[in-house]
């Protein structure tokens, strides 16, 4: 019955490759990995990679490692290491065994670098950054050999040891692979594989003052973990040459079934930035409240906004995995959460911009309780009891002194049905000095109770309401897109594409049963949208609700 179904995963070109590898006997089982760099929070793009890697491991009864690709200590932080683990688990996945770190292999990597040096395949280079760039050549012109390229192996070995022992300053020298300065692939023009960095590392402390580069580290880490299919995004397509070159030249990795890299296109989402560096800028500059601001495309932000893990997994399934670059509509992500919540979220009533309604012929001294289903289609979710009385709140947008026939809400002299309760009729209203309606005086018909009563009344409109004396005050945070441009990544600065109205805060009321609303439970506020309590700021007595998504697609 649910639209959101993670059981049936469609095939894709990567799964086809895996099927072939299993059929041919190249591999007996599948081992993938998700390799984030702990330099920011995970975003919806990472979710695509997570669902792909962990999803494959699940479906093929294989394994998936979580490996922190931690070779840039200055940009990394233990806070990111922790949030990434939390987000992967929240999405519903569990890695195989312990969390891995590339830094676990720093000793091994050092040994492999020494092996390349001994084979005459790596050398210590003292060109400065500008010279290195100049020697590298361009896409049109081949590069030139570094004057240090032919240093004898024994000398390189001594220099590399001196690098490791702190004998050189940062930027003074690097270790480079000796490949081909005329290669059409820039990454093969004697790439740097180690550099000097006197940086404290969150895992290895001050043990190292040289750190290996990504391209050298990643393939070896994959191979050491017996990863069968190393899945990454298309920008690493050229680097696959280097990935294979490193392994081809190390004695430990000559098995015919060793790890191979496959590339797929990254997720780009309209109106969304997907670079951790740019997202970090938004946080650092205070343009959002943090990595978990509900407007952020981070997993933590989406969670706080009210997205469910199932809706994100469903989205990742719908976008598929290909090699085509594309820009996905935000509507697709919103449709996934809307369908999930429409199917599963309890209903409740909230009045976001309240005006008072006084029902003058309701003269009973006590409140009355009316029943309302928690979910219209799921009887097992039960019923809730809603107070009804002489004073209620309705939304300012649901009343007009006069209106044409299209306006099916409350109008002076006409009737409307209160959802789950009675038909009322507006008689007159009070206004403040600015002409805004403050109170509407009504009468109700006691014979019309119920959600869809067969009372024969031809009342077109149904509006929502909350009884005034039991109503709980609540803050509503109404979100719009963070950016006003569909492709904010293309703008020179974020400032010119930032949507000034991405957050609107209003104060209204919610029905009393929401007193203990939990952040992990999203609601449909009837006729308003899907909301959830804010996990940081909402508590009993000070309710704060985030708009997760509108009821319908609004653009
Ligand atoms: P960013 O550009 O946001 O900094 P990154 O690629 O540097 O991302 P990593 O931590 O290295 O971030 O990414 C971990 C894994 O997630 C990598 O395998 C990467 O290819 C994948 N990934 C990152 N962004 C996306 C995306 N938008 N769509 C799909 N996969 C992604
Ligand atoms: Mg990266």
User: pLDDT digit string (tens) for 174-213?
Assistant: 999 999 999 999 999 999 999 999 999 999 999 999 999 9
* Whether residue 37 lies in the annotated active site: yes
- Residue 458 counted as an annotated binding residue: no
Would 13-264 and 268-346+472-555 be classified into the same CATH topology? no
State how far the Cα of 81 lies from the Cα of 122, in Å rounded to an integer: 32
The DSSP line for 198-239 is ---BTTTBTS-SEEE-HHHHHHHHHHHTT-SEEEEEGGGTTH
CATH number of 350-464: 2.40.240.10
Residue having the nearest C-alpha atom to atom 1 of ligand 1: 275
pLDDT surpasses 50 at 127: yes
Distances (CA, A) of 487 to 228, 269, 434, 476: 35, 8, 41, 28
3-state secondary structure of 251: helix
3-state secondary structure of 17: helix
State how far the Cα of 456 lies from the Cα of 448, in Å rounded to an integer: 9
Q: How confident is the model at residue 337 (pLDDT cuts 50, 70, 90)?
A: very high
* Whether residue 276 lies in the annotated active site: yes
The fold adopted by the segment(s) 268-346+472-555 is: 1.10.1160
Q: What is the pLDDT of residue 10?
A: 81
State how far the Cα of 437 lies from the Cα of 176, in Å rounded to an integer: 75
**Ligand 1 neighbours by CB, cut-off 6 Å:** 35-37, 45-46, 48-49, 69, 232-233, 266-267, 274-276
Residues found in the chain: 555
State how far the Cα of 268 lies from the Cα of 85, in Å rounded to an integer: 23
For the CA of 266, the closest atom of ligand 1 is 28
CATH number of 13-264: 3.40.50.620
Query: How does DSSP classify residue 386?
Result: E
For the CA of 231, the closest atom of ligand 1 is 18
Annotated domain spans of the chain:
13-264, 268-346+472-555, 350-464
State how far the Cα of 219 lies from the Cα of 246, in Å rounded to an integer: 8
- Expressed in angstroms and rounded, the spacing between residue 448 Cα and the centre of ligand 1 is 57
Q: What is the pLDDT of residue 5?
A: 43
Among all bound ligands, the one having the nearest atom to the CA of 68 is: 1
- Residue 27 counted as an annotated binding residue: no
Distances (CA, A) of 546 to 89, 351, 414, 506, 515: 23, 14, 34, 11, 15
Residue in 178, 240, 276, 535 annotated catalytic:
276
Convert the pLDDT of each residue in 55-67 to its tens digit. Answer: 999 999 999 999 9
Question: Sign of dihedral through CA atoms 87, 91, 95, 98?
Answer: positive
Q: How confident is the model at residue 542 (pLDDT cuts 50, 70, 90)?
A: very high
* Whether residue 295 lies in the annotated active site: no
Range list of H helices, 352-410: none
b/e sequence 224-253, b meaning 16+ C-beta within 10 Å: bbebbbbbbeeebebbbbbbbbbbebbeeb
Q: What is the pLDDT of residue 9?
A: 77
The DSSP line for 399-421 is EESS--TT--SEEBT-EEEETTS
Residue 264: enclosing H or E segment and its boundaries?
strand 260-264
State how far the Cα of 33 lies from the Cα of 25, in Å rounded to an integer: 21
Q: Report pTM.
A: 0.94
- Expressed in angstroms and rounded, the spacing between residue 39 Cα and the centre of ligand 2 is 9
């Amino acid at each position: 019955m649910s639209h959101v179904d993670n059981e049936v995963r469609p095939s894709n070109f990567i799964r086809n490759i895996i099927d072939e590898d299993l059929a041919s006997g190249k591999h007996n089982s599948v081992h993938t990995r998700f390799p984030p760099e702990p330099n920011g929070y995970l975003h919806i793009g990472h979710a695509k990679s997570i669902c792909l890697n962990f999803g494959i491991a699940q479906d093929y009864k294989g394994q998936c490692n979580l490996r922190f690709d931690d070779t840039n200590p200055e940009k990394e932080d233990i806070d990111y290491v922790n949030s990434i683990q939390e987000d992967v688990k929240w999405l519903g996945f569990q890695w195989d065994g312990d969390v891995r770190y590339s830094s676990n292999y720093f000793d091994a990597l050092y040994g492999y670098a020494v092996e390349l040096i001994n084979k005459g395949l790596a050398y210590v280079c003292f060109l400065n950054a500008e010279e290195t760039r100049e020697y590298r050549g361009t896409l049109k012109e081949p590069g030139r050999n570094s004057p240090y390229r032919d240093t004898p192996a024994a000398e390189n070995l001594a220099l590399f040891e001196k690098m490791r022992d702190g004998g050189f300053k940062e930027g003074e020298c690097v270790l480079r692979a000796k490949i081909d300065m005329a290669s059409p692939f820039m990454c093969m023009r004697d790439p740097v594989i180690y550099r000097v960095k006197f940086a404290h590392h969150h895992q290895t402390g001050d043990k190292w003052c040289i750190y290996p580069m990504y391209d050298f580290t990643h393939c070896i880490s994959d191979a050491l973990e017996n990863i069968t299919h190393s899945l990454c995004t298309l920008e690493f397509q050229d680097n696959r040459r280097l990935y294979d070159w490193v392994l081809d030249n190390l004695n430990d990795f000559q098995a015919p079934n060793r790890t191979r890299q496959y590339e797929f296109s990254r997720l780009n989402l309209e109106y969304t930035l997907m670079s951790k560096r740019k997202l970090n800028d938004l946080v650092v500059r205070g343009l959002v409240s943090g990595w978990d601001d509900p407007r952020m495309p981070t997993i933590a932000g989406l969670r706080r906004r009210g997205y469910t893990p199932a809706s994100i997994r469903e989205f990742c399934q719908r976008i598929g995995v290909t090699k085509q670059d594309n820009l996905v509509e935000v509507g697709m992500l919103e449709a996934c959460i809307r369908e999930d919540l429409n199917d599963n979220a309890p209903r409740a009533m909230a009045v976001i911009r309240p005006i008072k309604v006084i029902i003058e012929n309701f003269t009973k001294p006590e409140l009355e309780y009316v029943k309302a289903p928690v979910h219209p289609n799921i009887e097992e979710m039960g019923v809730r009891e809603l107070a009804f009385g002489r004073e209620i709140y309705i939304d300012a947008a649901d009343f007009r002194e006069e209106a044409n026939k299209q306006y099916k809400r409350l109008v002076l002299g006409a009737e409307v049905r209160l959802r789950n309760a009675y038909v009322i009729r507006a008689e007159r209203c009070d206004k403040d000095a600015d002409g805004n309606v403050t109170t509407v005086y009504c009468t109700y018909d006691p014979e019309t109770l119920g959600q869809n009563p067969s009372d024969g009344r031809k009342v077109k409109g149904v509006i929502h309401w909350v009884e005034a004396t039991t109503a709980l005050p609540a803050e509503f945070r109404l979100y719009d897109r963070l950016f006003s441009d569909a492709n904010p990544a293309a703008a020179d600065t974020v400032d010119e594409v930032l949507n000034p109205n991405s957050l609107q805060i209003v104060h209204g009321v919610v029905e009393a049963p929401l007193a203990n609303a939990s952040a992990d439970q999203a609601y449909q506020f009837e006729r308003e949208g899907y909301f959830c309590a804010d996990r940081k700021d909402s508590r009993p007595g000070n309710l704060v609700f985030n708009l997760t998504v509108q009821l319908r697609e609004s653009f």
